[in-house]
Amino acid sequence: MPRIVCICLSHWPVTRLRRAGLAPEGGPLAVAAEGPGGLRLVALDPKALALGLRPGEPLGRVRARIGVPLQVYPADRDADRDALIRLCRWAYRYAPLVAPFGPAEASDGLYIDVAGASHLCGGEANLVDDLAGRLARSKIPARIALADTPGGAFALARHGATDRIIVPPGGAAEALRSLPVEGLRLDPGTVSGLRRLGLRRIGELDALSRGSLARRFGAALLLRLDQALARRPEPLTPLTEAADYAAARGFLDPIGRQSDIVRTARDLMAELAPRLERDGRGACAVRLALHRVDGAVRDLDLGLSRPERDPERVAALVSLRLDRLGAALDAGFGFETVTLAVTVTGAMPARQTDLGTASAGDGVGFLADALAQRLGRALLRFEPRASHLPERADGGVGWVAGEGHGSVPSLGLGQTQAPPPPPPAGEGSRPRLLAASRAAAAEDGWSQHRS
């Protein structure tokens, strides 16, 4: 069972400014950004909050209302995000699975899955104490909660009675009963609708008929409720190193059809191709990440036998992979974000394309890539080995992206490296080749490719 630590960072933009030495320690201090009707407050320090100010208020009205000087700094969301990512990497000291907050949380913070790792700190209580102490010494205000689910931990950290809460395994339902419905990470319209009906606590919401809630507020409300109460899993999206070549596309209406996913992958590769061409690189492996509306992420890793920049070729491989997955893709309520990252690159010098002729090796390389996606198994190719035993003079090796560049030396197709020397006389007989083929088939199954 997961055990999730939620760290909800209080007024993180203000903390980031002060830690970077860009703002004085004294207050009151606020951070403002452009909004409807002009500048609006987005973050406040404790002294500004004590004056009755709240995030979202127009800056002009605030200046006219309060009688003390208010220090105001412009918001820098990119700098705030970069600082949060650095804090997430620091949190690896506690567990390897760390995830920053997403758009659903509408605040700054991170999750840590400490299942199986808390004993290294002497237990969950010691881990939370150590985490809170280190953050306090670094002058990072935070509220911390530990529960079975990210949704439950977030609700407790954001709306709990104290700034440090540990819920025992299985105790989420009782701990969340008295918390406000805002803790379920619902959109403001849903929260307003619930409050108009007099539903202010999570316990009151859970006691109602699920059918009536779904009809009035949609399935998203039940999803967030079940995730918080550990009735439905909520996988975290772990923090990963940013790829040098990556692109993403979000959708207001989530997509789920294969044709839409393939078209999006082609468009994203077309966006990356000029950057790869500028650097003289090509994609040897790509990762297509499909983000479902419930927070789950499906990663599809595609390997290519030679560096490639052609969006149509990448789209064709994605289509073959989706054909093989079929219903196992499980789009659920749809994918709201699709990202494409080039995880492995290879040198790809400029070549003549105006005459409309492709190199002879292209067909073999694409065949290898298509077979890998269609069959879902590792591919083999034969290469000579130094051995005085005829049955060991040839062997199957894995088809690795970038090795051989899709060429078959014995056929002279698009060679990019010198062909291997011929085997000594008497060691290249067809019986030996058949024996090696049978051995490879017996070991790796009929879905292996033999070139």
**pLDDT digit string, tens, across residues 123-132:** 999 999 999 9
Centre a 10 Å sphere on the Cβ of residue 221 and count the other Cβ atoms it contains.
Answer: 22
At residue 314, does pLDDT exceed 60? yes
Is the CB of residue 283 less than 8 Å from the CB of residue 342?
yes
Q: How confident is the model at residue 240 (pLDDT cuts 50, 70, 90)?
A: low
Strand spans (E) along 205-280: 245-255
Q: For residue range 91-135, what is the model confidence (pLDDT) as tens digits?
A: 988 998 899 998 888 889 999 999 989 998 999 999 999 999 999
Q: How confident is the model at residue 64 (pLDDT cuts 50, 70, 90)?
A: confident
Among 100-104, 207-211, 291-295, 357-361, which stretch is predicted with the lowest mean pLDDT?
Answer: 357-361
Average pLDDT, the chain: 80
The confidence score (pLDDT) of residue 445 equals 34
| Half-sphere CA count of 45, side-chain side, radius 13 A | 20
Length of the chain: 451
At residue 274, does pLDDT exceed 60? yes
Q: What's the DSSP call for residue 413?
A: B
At residue 362, does pLDDT exceed 60? no
Our CA angle for 55, 84, 56, nearest 5°, is: 10
Q: Among candidates 167, 178, 165, 142, which has minimal Cα distance to 11?
A: 142
Residue 38, classed as helix, strand or coil, is: strand
Helix, strand and coil percent figures for the chain, each rounded to 5: 40, 25, 35
